Amino acid sequence: MTATVAPPPAKVPEPKAPRRPSRVAELLRNLMTPWTLIVIGCSVVVIYLTVIPLWFLFQGTFAGENGPTLDGFRRALGTGSDMWGMLGNTLVFGVTSTIFSIAIATPLAYVLVRTDAPFKPLFFAASLIPLIIPGVLYTPAWIFLADRDIGVLNQLIFEPIFGEALLNVYGMPGMIWVHGLHNSPIAFLFMVAGFRAMDPSLEESALVSGASRLRIMKRITVPLMRPALVASGLLLVVQGIESFEVPALLGLQNGVYVLTSRIYLATHQYPIDYAAAGALALILLGIAALAAAFSAWLVRDARHYQTITGKAFRPRPIELGRARKWVGTGIIGYFIIAAVLPLLVLVYASLLSYYRPPSMDVFSTMSLDAFREVLAMSTVESAVKNTLILGIATATIVMALCAIVAWGVARTKVPGRNGLDILTLTPLVIPGLVLGLALLFVYLRVPLPIYGTLWIMLISFITQHLPYGMRFSMAAVGQVGQELEESALVSGASRAQTFRRILMPLMSAGLFAGWVYILIHTLRSLSTIILLYSPGRETISVLIFSAVQNGDYTVVAAIGVLLMLLLLVLVAGAYKVGVKYGLAKDE
């Protein structure tokens, strides 16, 4: 097949140009290569997806009856609203929970990828459990574990032993604990991908040269992981400052307010104050842009972090020796705290008629009624189907799109590429309601049969998950040495071939991690879906929403348990396929 299309080996002489070639023509010829067109095409798609809601946000914020106005900002920052206090809380929450997530996830990922630690097969799927539990359940699970009055841990462990309830899940420390634990899988996925792509010989040579393990960690390992650290840090910080679930449940009770509480106020009053909500979202956007610029500066010397180079390497697991049992204990401890305890609470809650702390009386009333109720819902079958279609489609499209765009941002010198990078972060801070309204506005008017179908939901999901796809892709591109591409090009491969044959396989660990994350995250997205879905096109999050509305927490818990089983099967299956197609194995 290649024979028919391959160029003849003989050199075709260039036709003599009668006059000087026009520079425009030359530029055009450079631009017209298929690869350039693909990169430009993908970038245009990303710009299209992000600019529409952004334009809506700006318009809603600044448009007044008599031309542009700053009234939205005035109302948002209005007198007596304690802006600085809220801003401070927002930043403390976002940054500290990020540090916490990364501090837990990095050693875990290192141990999984680089050592002979025990329990590895359990590891990958189990590490995702906190991610799979929807926030609407994970936070209440922690209330049921560590509330002073009704918390199981306080009642069963701390009160009998210490005489008082020592755990208190409310306030800033509790918020950081719960949010940090819940999101540690994001950092974990980044770090696993990063460590897999790292040449251990660098550490080995340091070891041979007499450096201590700690010193190696400090001078070699952590610096080399900078792209993954920075990418996950950026994502987590931005996600932290825009999240409301944890601050709403754990902060409000202690009077800890964050900026998103004010967005809540603006969108829950009558009439909805889009301008004030937009102004606050733009402030968040400003913080996100600063964070993005800072993170770009942190990894400015791209070549320093390229650990996948022309030199072949074979990761050899470090033998832990006597430390092995301590590491094993640590791993088990993490899973008990981050996954097993919340999961047990969930299973426990799903067996009750309404949630209450455990007692003999409670155990005698347990039943499977909540599961029966879920399975009897008329919409459950189509909801599972729609959720899976949307989740798989979103994860695949976003990762394909972002891998290409990330190449453009990381490897070219095109002006504006950093702006594109920041643009992909914006969906994270745009309130879901604004994104939904923007999509409604556009697709109600374009003459395409998209409105009222899964397509519009897919478009909203793709938009919302661009920030994740882009971060995972940027981290993955950042570790692949440019010389590999350069040698492929020198050997006559095209850019497209290089991307497909060299870069994609080398990025596969990072891309797969992003794919898994997005697939799981789509299950939790609700705010825009509630505007865009139509009957027959419900997703699982819509079912959860209506159960929450009704106060049926045991049903919500049952949905959560079933969801977890479904996702574990799915992720395990995807992982198997991934291993078959060259994804590095852990064993």
Partner 1 sequence: MHTYTTSGLRVCARIVALLLPVVLVLACGGPVSQPVPDGSAEQSNSVYDEIAALSGQERTDRLVELARQEGELNLYGTGSLEAQGDAFSDKYGIKVNFYEGDTDTVASKIIQEAQAGKHSADVFNGGATLMEELDGNQLLGTYESEFRDGVPDIGKSDRWTGYYRQPLVVLYNLDQVDPAELPSDVLGFADPKWAGKISMELGDYDWYMTLVQYYEGQGLSREDIDAKFTAMAKNAKVIDGHSEQAGLLAAGQFGVAVSAYTLHAARFRDQGAPVTFGGTDGNPTVQPVPMRYEGIALMAQAPHPAAATLFLDFVLGPEGSQLTLDQGQLPAAPMANDPLANDTIVLIDNDEYVKNGDKWAAAYDAILRSADR
The interface with partner 1 within residues 544-583 (CB under 8 A) comprises: 545-546, 548-553
Nearer to partner 1, 255 or 310 (CB): 255
CB of 449 to partner 1, least distance (A): 6
Helices 274-298, 34-62: inter-axial angle, 10-degree rounding: 140
Contact present, 179 and 93 (Cβ < 8 Å)? yes
Nearer to partner 1, 237 or 511 (CB): 511
CB of 424 to partner 1, least distance (A): 19
**Rounded Cα distance, 356 and 362, in Å:** 8
Nearer to partner 1, 331 or 352 (CB): 352
CB of 406 to partner 1, least distance (A): 15
CB of 219 to partner 1, least distance (A): 40
Among 74, 215, 325, 385, interactor with partner 1 by CB under 8 A? 385
CB of 429 to partner 1, least distance (A): 19
Among 144, 190, 461, 468, interactor with partner 1 by CB under 8 A? 144
The interface with partner 1 within residues 61-90 (CB under 8 A) comprises: 75, 78, 80, 82
CB of 80 to partner 1, least distance (A): 6
Helices 259-268, 83-114: inter-axial angle, 10-degree rounding: 120
Nearer to partner 1, 242 or 273 (CB): 273
Among 195, 461, 499, 517, interactor with partner 1 by CB under 8 A? 499
Among 497, 566, 574, 586, interactor with partner 1 by CB under 8 A? 497
Cis peptide bond prior to 34, omega within 30° of 0? no
DSSP per-residue codes, 251-272:
IGGGT---HHHHHHHHHHSSS-
Among 367, 396, 412, 418, interactor with partner 1 by CB under 8 A? 396
Residue with tokens 């426990």: 348
Nearer to partner 1, 294 or 441 (CB): 441
The interface with partner 1 within residues 316-375 (CB under 8 A) comprises: 353-357, 365
Among 161, 164, 492, 580, interactor with partner 1 by CB under 8 A? 492
Among 131, 172, 225, 393, interactor with partner 1 by CB under 8 A? 393
Contact present, 460 and 528 (Cβ < 8 Å)? yes
Q: Please give the C-alpha separations between residue 247 and each of 84, 138, 256, 370, 557, in angstroms, as whole numbers.
A: 17, 13, 7, 28, 21
Looking at the chain, how many residues does it have? 587
**Rounded Cα distance, 468 and 472, in Å:** 6
CB of 151 to partner 1, least distance (A): 9
Contacts 24+ apart (CB under 8 A), 561-569: 561/346, 561/347, 561/350, 561/371, 562/371, 562/374, 563/132, 563/134, 563/523, 564/129, 564/132, 564/133, 564/343, 564/346, 566/384, 567/128, 567/132, 567/519, 567/520, 567/523, 568/125, 568/128, 568/132
Q: Please give the C-alpha separations between residue 363 and each of 168, 313, 341, 352, 359, in angstroms, as whole numbers.
A: 25, 55, 18, 8, 6
Structure tokens at 527: 């705010």
Nearer to partner 1, 175 or 235 (CB): 175
Site string for partner 1, 248-287 (x = CB under 8 A): xx--xxxx-x------xx-xxxxxxx--------------
CB of 196 to partner 1, least distance (A): 23
Nearest Cα to 566, choosing from 519, 499, 532? 519
The interface with partner 1 within residues 513-542 (CB under 8 A) comprises: 530-531, 533-537, 542
Nearer to partner 1, 218 or 501 (CB): 501
Among 131, 143, 283, 477, interactor with partner 1 by CB under 8 A? 143
Nearer to partner 1, 138 or 499 (CB): 499
The interface with partner 1 within residues 176-235 (CB under 8 A) comprises: none
The interface with partner 1 within residues 20-39 (CB under 8 A) comprises: 33-35, 37-38
| Burial of 363: CB neighbours in 10 Å, binned 0-12, 13-18, 19+ | exposed
CB of 201 to partner 1, least distance (A): 33
CB of 376 to partner 1, least distance (A): 12
The interface with partner 1 within residues 430-459 (CB under 8 A) comprises: 433, 436-437, 440-441, 444-445, 449, 451-455, 458
Site size toward partner 1 (CB under 8 A) is: 87
Sign of CA dihedral 387, 393, 396, 402: negative
**Rounded Cα distance, 77 and 276, in Å:** 8
Nearer to partner 1, 444 or 572 (CB): 444
**546, HSE (Cβ side, Cα atoms, 13 Å):** 12
57 binds partner 1, rule: CB under 8 A: no
CB of 334 to partner 1, least distance (A): 27
Which DSSP state fits 218?
I
The residues facing 115 across adjacent strands are 318
| Burial of 553: CB neighbours in 10 Å, binned 0-12, 13-18, 19+ | buried
The interface with partner 1 within residues 147-186 (CB under 8 A) comprises: 147, 149-150
Q: What is the CA radius of gyration of the chain?
A: 26
CB of 65 to partner 1, least distance (A): 16
Nearest Cα to 52, choosing from 423, 422, 419? 423
Nearer to partner 1, 222 or 375 (CB): 375
Cβ-count burial 298-320 (b if 16+ within 10 Å, e if not): ebeeeeebbbbeeeeeeeeebeb
**Pseudo-torsion of CA 384, 389, 394, 396, nearest 10°?**
130
The interface with partner 1 within residues 397-436 (CB under 8 A) comprises: 397, 400, 433, 436
